[in-house]
Structure 1
Amino acid sequence: MASSLPSSVSVTPLPPFKPDLYQRAWSSIPHPTLPLLATCHAKAVTVFSLSTLTKHSSLSGGHTRSVRCAAWKPGLPPGKLCLVTGSFDATAGLWRWEKEADEGGEGSMEVDVTKGSNASRPDTEKDASDDDWEFTLVLEGHENEIKSVSFSPSGQYLATCSRDKTVWIWEDVGAAEDEDEWETVAVLSEHDGDIKAVAWCPDVPGRNKASSNRHGSLDVLASASYDNTVRIWREDGDGEWVCVSVLEGHEETVWGLQFEPRTDNERFPRLMTFSADGTVRIWTLQVEEEEPTVEDGRDANNPFRSAMSGIPNTMRRGLREDWVCTAVLPKAHTRAVYSASWSSDSGLIASTGSDGLIVVYGEEKDVTKPASSAEEQSKETGDHGNARSRDGWRILGTVANGHGAYEINHVTWCKRYDAGAEQKGTEEMLVTTGDDGVIRPWQTRAD
């Protein structure tokens, strides 16, 4: 189905977050509902307010080496926060914030935002001290630095991955909401290289439909590795986490990945991956529509039984998925793509990396055929302003040297709540995080 896209998107800088960190920052993670942004740097995390673009609070003293990554635990009530951090010290730390909202519902975390209010309000945010955060639990087991942490949609599971070539899955077994007790339920060790990132499939209708009446769990995990591959994991009927697909196509390290945050229909969410080979790829789960027949007690039209090459021996016969690369986004980056973010509102993708370039892509139509090769794509792109691929994606805007001479380590879409926003809590902006320690917001406008 064709979709309407602007001819271009302008990306212009907004005033940077304050204070500057003056040291390499790795990533900035927006809270799913509150106007908060957690930035990882050195041995700490600085939480910024998206309303004032200034420091809200900080987390320090929990790790002995740099904090590389973080994730917000979903589904907590107003007044409570939980953040997991992953560090170069090979541990993951669990942090909690508990503070009652002020009378009238406007507290230090601006609880009113969660109620969907976009009206302009006076700034009631309070400065918070480090003591407001409590370091409640250390998760140990990895042998080397943790590169990525990610919560499942329900918050029941936490995935961590490491330079030690393993993915650990932890389960929240605490009897109470604020009781921190986690246990290891799986250690996945089929990658042949450092594991750069993990991501869970979001809880969207397509996920539920594609997983109904199947033999795998609803929770789906993907991992990206230095071995140039991506692996898809599910829990089987026996409670074992198994690899159900190996995605091959990138020519160098896969730096990260993200499932499609929103689908226009009930298809299973696609998966975006980005790599040191300078490309961003889109992968689609193939679901065969056939009459069911009984074979070994399982439905023959189960997509998990689709044939694929390179299946490790540990894969269960009844849990196999066929993922196909259905798009290679137009080539714009000249070096490694460190980060890319897929907007849940607009469907636009933004990417950045070693070359300091920020690129915004849009999709013109649904992808229904396998992607042409990266080489064929690059021949078609030409100048960035008009670049497009055969698969429906084109470049809408670029910014060169987004952080000057410094590399950009992370980019994310997040909601705007600042004074310049026309529609607070609805309007989007980009936030980039770089080696210069500056956290830069960017206004995006369709032209």
Structure 2
Amino acid sequence: MDTAPPPAAIVPANSPPPNPQTVTITRLPPFQPDLYTRAWSSVPHPTLPLLATAHAKSVTVFSLATFTKHSALTGGHARSVRTAAWQPPRSNNSNNSKRLGLVTGSFDATAGMWSYDGDSSGSGDGDGNEVVLEREVKMDRDDEQDSDGEEEEKDWEFNLVLEGHENEVKSLAFSPGGAYLATSSRDKTVWIWEDVSAGPEDEDEWETVAVLSEHDGDVKAVAWCPSHLPNAAGKRGNYSSDVLASASYDNTVRIWREDADGEWVCVAVLEGHEGTVWGVQWEGRERKNGKFPRLMTFSADGTIKVWSLREEEEEQDGDGAQQEGNPFRSGFGGIPSTMRRSIREDWDCTAVLPKVHSRDVYSVSWSADTGLVASTGSDGVVAVYAEDESAPADAPMPSPGAEGAAKDGIVAPKSNWRVLGTVSNAHGPYEINHITWCKRFDPGAELKGKEEMLVTTGDDGVVRPWQVRIS
């Protein structure tokens, strides 16, 4: 049983802007059972009330409606599972059935594809997800015990092993449409795999389309830009709308796109951190100014930085219209492919969040609903931040240590972000490896499926939810 202390105290920001907000963070009962071993991350399903936690040689799937175990993925890997990601639905049929799939990355240098052999279909308003979640939770209760009174496991099928990395798989992520899977490794590479399955009901079939090896250290994390946003494809049309970011032990972040020849190329290198970049988070909410989504990076140097793409105006002809129809023009500034030079993107560090953490920042989560950011790390602190949206969001920051100085005639703000609250020792003396915003479906939620909570995952093997109230 959990013997959690009373709700943690909240430390407000020192210098709140006008009309300040605060948050109240309350410790909720942890997910059961405790895992009793280091847990690396917990990933919520995008629509269903399910949470997948990577630990030991398995993944435990919890129900977000009951905070209890739903099912488990075991027997697929020879070593610990480091990371997991939910597979976007492959179904395009009319009966709205959706295959439930997960991919896992392991210290055994492989990635595994899994599917759930259970009832994941439903009907009702919208896409039926509300009905599905109720049915899944009911299955938990009805099938919790077999005739002998023992717990009955749901069946996950291990379908496919993706091999190629030389060392442990650190991170993996599906592109928004599910056509690509990116995996990163201690071997300093990022692999991009393409789904070449014949159809949604066929067996998984993936092939390697790119091996990206420009990083000089372990590649800690990969993340795809959420291209469902209207502005995510950019305005220049130089590359495809699929954009991948990778973070590395070499203190850099790289941005990758597929060019007009189908080659995956590095279009930008983001430098500025003074330690390992543990991960990246794309902005999931459409920007009011219509610009490209920003990127947030976090590091062993204890800092969290925000980066913005420096966007150029569309090229126009003499009459003020965009040039089209010229067979000698391409998406690369009109230069034929045999003559063009590599086109690079310019990204500026436009904000540094207030310093909260005394050690490595292991994880950051950027809410697509509220725009709030949550962070955690090796110091055991959980912090929540808000952006002052009235302040300039894309002004380049000056060089480190010169905040407030002028650069190219622009005076950058010291920070347009503020701390709303922090919780110390959120998992007692243990490090916290991951934090995520997650929809609430439990009985304590006021707006099930819409209200958000935080979930933290730590070395103590506890997966802990937190109620967040904004005022």
TM-score, with structure 2 as normaliser: 0.82
Question: Post-superposition shift, 1:8?
Answer: 1.1
1:234 aligns with 2:257: yes
For the pair 1:182 / 2:182, whether they are aligned, the reply is no
In 1, Cα distance between the equivalents of 2:303 and 2:217? 20
Q: Structure 1 residues 289-298 or 271-280, which shifts more?
A: 289-298
* Deviation (angstroms), 1:10: 1.4
Q: Which residue of 1 aligns with 2:393?
A: 367
Q: 1:12 Cα shift?
A: 1.2
User: Structure 1 residues 81 and 104 mapped into 2: Cα distance closer, same or farther (>3 Å)?
Assistant: closer
Give CA-to-partner distance per residue, 1:386-412, whole Å, 9 cap, x none: xxx723100001000000000000000
Match of residue 469 from structure 2: 445
Q: Does 1:428 align with 2:442?
A: no
Give the counterpart of 1:12 among 2, 22, 26.
26
Please, which moves more after superposition, 70-79 or 392-401?
A: 70-79
Give the match's secondary structure for 1:124. Answer: helix
Secondary structure of the corresponding residue to residue 428 of structure 2: coil
- The partner residue of 1:201 within 222, 225, 229 is 225
Aligned residues of 2:89 and 2:98 also touching (Cα < 8 A): no
1:8–1:301: structure 2 CA closer, same or farther, 3 Å change rule?
A: farther
Task: Tell me how far 1:205 sits from its aligned partner.
Answer: 3.2
| Structure-2 change in CA distance of 1:71 and 1:321 (3 Å) | same
1:248 has 2:271 as partner: yes
- Report the alpha carbon displacement of residue 288 of structure 1 after superposing the two structures with TM: 1.8
Match of 1:90 among 101, 104, 109: 109
The higher radius of gyration belongs to 2
Q: Quick one: distance in 1 between partners of 2:252 and 2:455?
A: 27
2:86 aligned residue: 72
Which residue identity lines up with residue 242 of structure 1 in the other structure? V
Q: More displaced, 332-341 or 4-13?
A: 4-13
Q: For 2:165, which of 142, 145, 148 is the aligned residue?
A: 142
Report whether the alignment pairs 1:272 with 2:296: yes
* Letter of the 1:60 counterpart: T
Q: Verify: 1:358 aligned to 2:372, yes or no.
A: no
Change in Cα spacing, 1:4 to 1:288, as seen in structure 2 (3 Å) is farther
Stretches of structure 2 that go unaligned for 5 or more consecutive residues are 1-16, 91-95, 145-151, 318-322, 335-339, 405-412
What secondary structure is seen at the aligned counterpart in 2 of 1:239?
coil
- Shift in CA distance, 62/5, structure 1 to aligned 2, threshold 3 Å: farther
Return the alpha-carbon distance in structure 2 between the equivalents of residues 103 and 246 of structure 1: 45
Q: Equivalents in 1 of 2:39, 2:166: separation in Å?
A: 23
Aligned-residue offset at 1:5? 6.7
Alignment correspondent of 1:158: 181
Instruction: Identify the match of residue 413 of structure 1 among 423, 432, 437.
Output: 437
Q: Give distance in 2, aligned partners of 1:292 and 1:80.
A: 46
The answer to whether the 8 A contact 2:332-2:343 is kept is no
Select which of 425, 429, 435 maps to 1:401.
425
Cα distance in 2 for residues equivalent to 1:369 and 1:138: 45
Amino acid at match of 1:331: K
State the Cα distance separating 1:430 from its structure 2 match: 0.1
The AA in structure 2 aligned to 1:345 is D
User: CA–CA distance in 2 between the matches of 1:216 and 1:436?
Assistant: 44
Per-residue CA deviation, residues 234-256 of structure 1 (Å, 9 max, x unaligned), is 00111110000000010100000
Instruction: Give distance in 2, aligned partners of 1:197 and 1:168.
Output: 12
Q: 1:64 to 1:207 in 2, by over 3 A?
A: farther
SS in 1 for 2:250: coil
What CA deviation, in whole Å up to 9, does each residue of 1:98-123 have, x standing for no partner? Answer: 433588779xxxx9544699xx9996
Change in 2 beyond 3 A, CA 1:399/1:169 = same
Separation (CA, whole Å) in 2 of partners of 1:115 and 1:270: 35
Relative distance call for 1:40 and 1:278 in structure 2 (3 A) is same
Separation in 2, partners of 1:262, 1:181: 32
In the alignment, is residue 81 of structure 1 matched against residue 100 of structure 2? yes
1:176/1:260 CA distance change after superposition, 3 Å: same
Distance 1:62 1:369, change over 3 A: same
Displacement of 1:80 in angstroms is: 2.2
State the identity %.
63
Q: Tell me, what secondary structure is at the counterpart of 2:54?
A: strand
Cα 1:115–1:258 shift into 2, 3 Å: farther
Q: Measured at CA, do residues 267 and 237 of structure 1 come closer, stay the same or move farther in structure 2, by a change above 3 Å?
A: same
Partners in 2 of 1:300 and 1:174 — Cα distance?
32
- Counterpart Cα distance in 2 of 1:121 and 1:238: 46
Per the normalisation by structure 1, the TM-score is 0.86
Alpha carbons of structure 1 residues 298 and 250: separation in structure 2 relative to 1, 3 Å: same
8 Å CA contact 1:34, 1:113 repeated in 2: yes
Secondary structure, counterpart of 1:100 in structure 2: coil
Of 288, 303, 312 in structure 1, the residue corresponding to residue 312 of structure 2 is 288
Q: Given that residues 197 and 224 in structure 1 are in contact (C-alpha distance below 8 angstroms), is that contact kept between their aligned partners in structure 2? A: yes
Segments of 5+ residues of structure 1 without an aligned counterpart are 303-315, 379-388
Q: Is the 8 A contact 2:381 2:425 kept in 1?
A: yes
Q: CA RMSD in A?
A: 2.8
Q: Offset at 1:262?
A: 1.1
Asked if the contact 1:207/1:218 (under 8 Å) is kept, the reply is: no
User: What is the rounded CA distance, in whole Å, between the counterparts of 1:197 and 1:78 in structure 2?
Assistant: 31
Partner Cα distance (2:228, 2:19) in 1: 24
Asked if structure 1 preserves the Cα contact closer than 8 Å seen for 2:233 and 2:240, the reply is no
- Is the contact made by 2:122 and 2:128 (CA closer than 8 Å) also made in structure 1? no
Aligned to 2:191: 168
Query: What residue in structure 1 maps to residue 5 of structure 2?
Result: none
| Aligned length, in residue pairs | 415
CA 1:419–1:216: 2 relative to 1, 3 Å:
same
Look up the match of 2:11.
none
CA distance in structure 1 between the partners assigned to 2:156 and 2:255 by the alignment? 34
Letter in 2 for 1:44: S
- Which of 313, 327, 330 is 2:354 aligned to? 330
